[in-house]
Amino acid sequence: MSTVLDEIIGGVREDLEDRRAKHPLEKVQELALSTAPALDAVCALRGDGQTVRIISEVKRSSPSKGVLGEIADPAELAVKYQRGGAAAISVLTEERRFGGSLEDLDAVRAHVSIPILRKDFIVDEYQIWEARAHGADLVLLIVAALEEDTLSAFLELAESLGMNALVEAHTSEEISIAQRVGAKIIGINVRNLKTLEVKNAHYAELAADLPESVIKVAESGVSGLSDVQNYAQAGADVVLIGETLVKSGDPEKTVREFSAVPHL
């Protein structure tokens, strides 16, 4: 029986082949190697250690909630995030379920000076080269979507291009895999990608398995300030937030408020 993750990845592979046909890997590699060097996402996400760092997301829709909001100008939204103190910007580029695009990534890159995460379902090295070619500083690597050897190879490729990877886990076993491949930034997504169920307490249960040397990112489940505070109390260094900021009437103010939460 296929899961939501399986269905998303199926669509991602189809769309990838269309792009590959239009833009051969060799051309994408040339562009990736000629673009400006990637920004240091590890440094940005560590910050001064006094407050939680926020990755603010440009997210048009999701499989669980549908359309979240009309984002007429993703760059304008990203600039508001940056002014509010976001440590990095996450840009959804998956098209079918999330309404994202590489054009959104290009627009944001042209208007912000902080690290950008290409948020997508990476299943082929082409997408990593593509991310760098479009100015991304971080890529998302989902443990549940990749064999361990592939995950390791993708992480190595990303780092060889000067980028970092947010390695996303959902279980203790996946956290162990992330650590084995040498991930510096590990995210715990409290949304089960196979069922879309959200369980915020899942973060605290799993975060205890992470060493202090790793940047710990809490993903999903933020509906307000108290959720950010709870993640901080559970040891999160960074919180990735999409829906709540997109739907906020004042995203700059909201990011500023969230970014002031003490890091415990």
As a whole number of angstroms, the distance between CA 220 and CA 184 comes to: 20
Residue 141 β-bridge partners:
167
Whose CA is closest to 56, among 261, 259, 231, 262?
Answer: 259
Residue 54 β-bridge partners:
239
Q: Nearest 5°: phi and psi at 145?
A: -100, -5
As a whole number of angstroms, the distance between CA 155 and CA 165 comes to: 6
Radius of gyration of the chain (CA): 17
Residue 165 β-bridge partners:
139
Return the active site residues. 57, 59, 119, 168, 189, 219-220
Residue 166 β-bridge partners:
140, 185
Burial code (b: 16+ CB inside 10 Å, e: under 16) for 200-223 equals bebbbebbebbeeebbbbbbbbbe
